[in-house]
C-alpha cells in the first residue's frame, strides 16, 4: 500500500479540512486505499523543513510554508507570508519544482485553492455538501462574517468545529476530526456523533458563561467597551461577544488573566462603517506601540505583571478617545 504523509497548519480549521479534502481526492480519483499519516505543523521562529520529513510515496503540504525541495509532490497555500526567504520565492516563480503546486494569496482559504486547482487540472469536483463546507471555511478563515451571531451563538456545525480545532492543544483531536470527515464527508453527520456533539455542547456552554462574565464586567464610555476579566482565569476568549451584546460599540478592550500571564485583547467593530472605511484607529499598530501586535481591526499584548497590563489599558483607552490620525 502506498504511503501518504499530509503536513498541515495545526489548530486551524482551514488546515484540517484541506487535509480531508486532499485525502478524499486521492482516494476517489486514483481509486486507491492509502496508508495515511497526518502531521501538524506550527509557526515558530527559525522554522525550516528537513528532507527526512518527506520519506512517504506521496508527500503533501497544505495551508503551510512553501517547501522549496523536490520531495513534496503536492503543495497548496494562500498565506502571503508563505516563503521563508527570497530564494524560495524565486524558485517557485521560476517553476523550479516537480509536482502540483499552487499559491493564491488572494484566496480566502486553502480549501478553495485546492478545489479550484483539482477542478481545472483533473476535472474533479467535490460533493455539494463538501462545497458548502469549503464556503464556510473561506468565511471563517478570512473572518468575513455577516454578523457576530455566527461565532457567538455557534448554531451551525462549521463555526463550532472551527472553534474546537482552534482552541484544542491536542493533535489527536485534529487527526480524529480529519478521519471522521474523510469517512462521513459531512460536518452535519459528524456533529450528531456523541463524541463531537459533547464537544460542541461544551464550547457553546463555555461561550454562554463568557457572555455572562462579559456582561457583568463591561463598561461602555464614548463607544469604547472596557471589559475587566483580570480576576478570573480565562478559558478561551471570544472577541465577537462585545459587538453581539451592543452593536454601537466601536472599540472593545479586554483585560484577560491566564495561568502565568495577563493579556490585553483589543479590537475594533468589524461591522462599523468607520472600521470598514479605514477611519478608525489601527489596532495592530496601537498594540505594537505597546509591545504587542495584530491586524487593522484586532490585536493583543501580553504581560507578566497585572499592574503593567492595567497601566497600558489606561494609556490605550486615552488614545482611543482621541480622534485617529490618518497615516
Ligand atoms: Mn488558511
Identify the structural domains of the chain with CATH numbers, from first to last: 3-144 (3.90.1640.10), 217-321 (3.10.310.30)
What's the CA-to-centroid distance between 64 and ligand 1, angstroms? 8
C-alpha 21: how far from its chain's center?
A: 17
What's the CA-to-centroid distance between 176 and ligand 1, angstroms? 19
What's the CA-to-centroid distance between 96 and ligand 1, angstroms? 24
What's the CA-to-centroid distance between 231 and ligand 1, angstroms? 34
Per-residue pLDDT tens over the stretch 208-227 = 999 999 999 999 999 999 99
Per-residue pLDDT tens over the stretch 251-280 = 999 999 998 899 999 999 999 999 999 999
Query: In angstroms, rounded to a whole number, what is the distance separating the alpha carbons of residues 144 and 151?
Result: 11
User: What residues pair up with 36 in beta bridges, in sequence order?
Assistant: 4
Check: CB of residue 96 under 8 Å from CB of residue 56: no
Residues with CB under 5 A from ligand 1 (ion): 14, 63, 110, 141
What's the CA-to-centroid distance between 3 and ligand 1, angstroms? 25
The lowest-confidence range among 36-40, 49-53, 225-229 is 49-53
- Confidence label for 166 from pLDDT (cuts 50, 70 and 90): confident
Task: Give pLDDT, residue 59.
Answer: 97
What's the CA-to-centroid distance between 110 and ligand 1, angstroms? 5
Check: CB of residue 243 under 8 Å from CB of residue 148: yes
What's the CA-to-centroid distance between 198 and ligand 1, angstroms? 26
Query: In angstroms, rounded to a whole number, what is the distance separating the alpha carbons of residues 248 and 269?
Result: 9
pLDDT over 70 (residue 326): no
- β-pairing verdict for 251-257 and 224-233: parallel
**Most confident range, picked from 64-78, 133-147, 301-315:** 301-315
Query: In angstroms, rounded to a whole number, what is the distance separating the alpha carbons of residues 169 and 42?
Result: 12
Per-residue pLDDT tens over the stretch 279-293 = 999 998 999 899 988
Task: Give pLDDT, residue 138.
Answer: 95
User: The pTM is what?
Assistant: 0.87
What's the CA-to-centroid distance between 103 and ligand 1, angstroms? 11
- Confidence label for 325 from pLDDT (cuts 50, 70 and 90): confident
Q: Which segments within 78-191 are labelled E, that is strand?
A: 100-103
Amino acid at each position: 500500500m502506498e504511503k501518504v504523509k499530509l503536513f498541515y497548519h495545526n489548530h486551524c480549521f482551514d488546515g484540517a479540512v484541506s487535509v480531508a479534502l486532499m485525502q478524499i481526492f486521492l482516494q476517489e480519483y486514483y481509486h486507491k486505499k492509502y496508508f495515511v499519516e497526518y502531521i501538524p505543523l506550527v509557526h515558530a521562529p527559525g522554522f525550516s523543513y528537513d528532507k527526512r520529513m518527506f520519506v512517504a510515496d506521496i508527500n503533501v503540504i497544505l495551508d503551510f510554508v512553501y517547501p522549496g525541495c523536490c520531495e513534496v509532490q503536492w503543495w497548496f497555500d494562500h498565506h502571503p507570508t508563505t516563503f521563508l526567504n527570497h530564494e524560495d520565492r524565486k524558485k517557485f516563480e521560476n517553476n523550479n519544482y516537480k509536482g502540483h503546486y499552487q499559491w493564491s494569496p488572494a484566496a480566502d482559504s486553502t480549501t478553495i485553492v485546492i478545489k479550484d486547482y483539482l477542478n481545472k487540472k483533473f476535472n474533479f469536483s467535490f460533493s455539494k455538501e463538501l462545497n458548502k463546507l469549503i464556503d464556510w471555511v473561506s468565511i471563517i478563515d478570512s473572518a468575513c462574517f455577516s454578523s457576530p451571531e455566527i461565532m457567538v451563538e455557534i448554531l451551525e456545525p462549521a463555526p463550532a468545529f472551527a472553534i474546537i480545532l482552534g482552541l484544542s492543544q491536542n493533535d489527536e483531536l485534529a487527526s480524529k476530526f480529519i478521519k471522521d470527515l474523510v469517512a462521513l464527508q459531512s460536518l452535519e453527520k459528524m456533529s450528531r456523533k456523541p463524541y463531537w456533539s459533547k464537544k460542541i455542547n461544551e464550547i457553546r456552554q463555555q461561550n454562554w458563561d463568557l457572555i455572562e462574565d462579559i456582561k457583568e464586567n463591561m463598561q461602555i464610555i464614548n463607544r469604547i467597551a472596557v471589559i475587566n476579566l483580570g480576576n478570573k482565569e480565562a478559558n478561551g476568549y471570544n472577541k465577537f461577544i462585545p459587538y453581539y451584546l451592543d452593536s454601537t460599540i466601536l472599540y472593545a478592550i479586554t483585560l484577560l488573566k491566564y495561568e502565568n500571564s495577563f493579556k490585553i485583547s483589543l479590537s475594533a467593530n468589524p461591522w462599523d462603517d468607520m472600521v470598514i472605511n479605514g477611519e478608525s484607529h489601527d489596532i495592530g499598530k496601537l498594540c505594537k506601540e505597546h509591545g504587542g501586535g495584530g491586524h487593522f481591526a484586532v490585536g493583543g499584548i501580553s504581560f507578566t505583571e497585572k499592574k503593567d497590563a492595567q497601566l497600558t489599558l489606561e494609556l490605550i483607552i486615552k488614545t482611543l478617545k482621541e480622534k485617529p490620525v490618518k497615516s
